[in-house]
Structure 1
Amino acid sequence: MNVAVVTVGDELLAGQTTNTNATWLCERFDRRGVDVERVTTVPDRVTDIARVVNEYRAEYDAVVVTGGVGPTHDDVTMDGVAAALGRPLEEHETALAWLEEEGYSRSDLTAGTADLPAGARALHNEVGVAPGAAVEGIYVLPGVPAEMRAMFESIEEEFSGTETYRKDVVADEPESALLDRIESLRERFDVSVGSYPGESVRIEIKGNEEPTVREAADWLRERVETPEPNPEPPSTTDASN
């Protein structure tokens, strides 16, 4: 299964808010063996949301959209998703009934709180108020991290993929000097390889078969220079009496 993640918010594009939602979702999908192939941030603008969602829903198995959910003036994500699908927004009776059960009177709710694209399934907000929505492979979640995470956990089982195994090999060599061995690794084993330089180079080996990944990591580890372990600090003896 492959997915695209779309985060909505002017504050994200202005650098005022760190996009932790995208990172968290990518980590959760990765655990489930689901490939995230796009992460895109768009402004609080209906046309941009509609264009990106419409493009991605044609290319990927699912599109997960976070942010801009609710009844305030800049919460326009539901409008954008509805526009992408060519559907109107409608007050969702199931969402309203659930909110009433949670103690929210319909008369007290801000107008538009439970407006979802026509035909959508409501995703209840266990932490906040405004519901999310699922429709035609598009999942709309709140932008508040606690609300987004709780809502995603309620639908997480709907995303599945092939389990992926990983092993890291750390090399104390320049990344450019490792290219021949990495290429040989790819030729010998059915794995994917990524290299990430820092003080040392971390080489990540991934694959769908745990024994193959382990064998590949062992093979490479024998052929690279590994960092010396940090020496233990000398022990001190309290000489006072």
Structure 2
Amino acid sequence: MSASPAQEIVTAAVIVIGDEILSGRTKDKNIGFLADYMTAIGIDLREVRIVPDELPRIVEAINVLRLRCDYVFTTGGIGPTHDDVTADAVAAAFEAPVVEDERILAMMKERYAEGELTPGRRRMARVPKGADLIDNPVSGLPGFHIGNVFVMAGVPSVMQAMFDGLAPRLATGRKMLSKTIEAHRPEGIVATPLGEIQDAHPGTAIGSYPYFDGEIFSTRIVIRARDADLLEEAAADVEKMLEGLAKNDKTS
């Protein structure tokens, strides 16, 4: 894994492409995987967009997010059908022509018998001129990347294998640390003092997540920070706050 000594925070965005996701016919499984993976290696996922198979919408999302984040990862829209337009959209975003990549064509000719390499299948060899390839150890046909935009398959098993191979090539930042504390009381009780603790610890991010355990409403408090000392200081204040609430419970 390459480090990023000059940049403590490395950011990313994900663009999920496909009408089938927006219609509900296909349930996305890629966002959660990428979010977990990037958090583990030190990349902050800042934004996710789900866009239809419409070239102008994909181009717009790419151009906005590639300027806003260090990396943009796309999933979907690189298959053999007419509505698989991701390659065209990425090429348009970078103002590059679309070409048939000879490396991908060679893979296809090894995979398909003569006469089986249909025009539809040849569409999967189309990439923006100058793009590098992303290895696909599952089904063979690669994704590609140009600039800071990485284009991967939409099928979860294929995308995950692609990202596994891609991850060691990515710059990473300082990892976000986290600590979870059970409040054992409803969110409304801890909301105000949590806000005060957050204000006192600007180097941290404190979230509260209510849930019902079948008997009582409770809250999980999650503290996040890149500095271990800051994390522990904020956690200690949260524990102290909860101890104070517990004492009030006993005396009331």
Is the TM value for this pair above 0.5?
Answer: yes
Q: How many residues align?
A: 225
1:216 equivalent in structure 2 = 234
* 2:205 paired residue number: 192
Please state if 1:104 is matched with 2:111.
yes
Partner of 1:232: none
Structure 2 letter corresponding to 1:11: E
Q: Is the 1:65–1:141 contact (alpha carbons within 8 Å) kept by the matching residues of 2? A: yes
Who is 1:231 aligned against?
none
Q: Residue type of the partner of 1:193?
A: I
Would you tell me which structure has more helix in proportion to its own residues? 2
State the distance in 2 between where 1:80 and 1:211 align: 45
Task: Measure how far apart 1:90 and its partner are.
Answer: 0.6
Is 2:60 aligned against 1:31? no
Task: Give the Cα–Cα distance (whole angstroms) in 2 for the partners of residues 221 and 16 of structure 1.
Answer: 45
1:141 counterpart = 2:180:
no
Find the counterpart in structure 1 of residue 223 from structure 2: 205
The 2-side partners of 1:76 and 1:130 are apart by 16
Name the CA distance, whole Å, in 1 between partners of 2:241 and 2:230.
17
Q: Is the 8 A contact 2:107 2:141 kept in 1?
A: no
State, as a whole percentage, how many aligned pairs show the same letter.
Answer: 34
CA contact (8 A) 2:76 2:155 kept: yes
Separation in 1, partners of 2:65, 2:149:
9
Deviations 1:15-37 (A, max 9, x none): 12111111111111111221111
8 Å CA contact 2:183–2:220 kept in 1: the answer is yes
1:127 aligns with 2:138: yes
1:50 corresponds to which residue? 59
CA distance in 1, matches of 2:19, 2:140: 22
Q: Which amino acid aligns with 1:206?
A: R
Q: 2: CA distance between counterparts of 1:67 and 1:74? A: 11
Q: Distance in 2 between matches of 1:187 and 1:72?
A: 52
- Residue 61 (1) aligns with residue 73 (2): no
Within the candidate set 163, 186, 194, 1:174 is matched to 186
Residue in structure 2 matching 1:41, options 38, 43, 50? 50
Compute the displacement of 1:99 (Å): 4.9
- Secondary structure in 1 matching 2:124: coil
Q: Distance in 1 between matches of 2:200 and 2:159?
A: 42
- Helix, strand or coil at the partner of 1:198: strand
Q: Greater shift after overlay, 44-53 or 217-226?
A: 217-226
Deviation for aligned residue 1:106: 7.9
Contact 1:69–1:75 under 8 Å retained in 2:
yes
**CA RMSD in angstroms, aligned pairs only:** 2.1
For 1:239, the equivalent position in structure 2 comes to: none
Scaled by the length of structure 1, the TM-score of the pair is 0.86
1:81-100 map, 5 Å: 81-99=90-108
The residue identity in structure 2 corresponding to 1:209 is D
Alpha-carbon separation, structure 2, partners of 1:127 and 1:96: 17
For 1:60 and 1:106, how far apart are their aligned partners in 2? 42
Equivalents in 2 of 1:33, 1:111: separation in Å?
37
Kept after mapping to 2: 8 A contact 1:4/1:38: yes
Contact 1:92–1:122 (CA under 8 A) maintained in structure 2 = no
Q: Check the 8 A contact 2:143/2:153 in 1, yes or no.
A: yes
Structure 1, 181-190 or 51-60: larger mean CA deviation? 181-190
1:160 corresponds to which of 156, 163, 172: 172
* Structure with higher RCO (Cα < 8 A, 6+ apart): 2
Distance 1:129 1:69 in 2: 13
SS of residue in 2 equivalent to 1:222:
helix
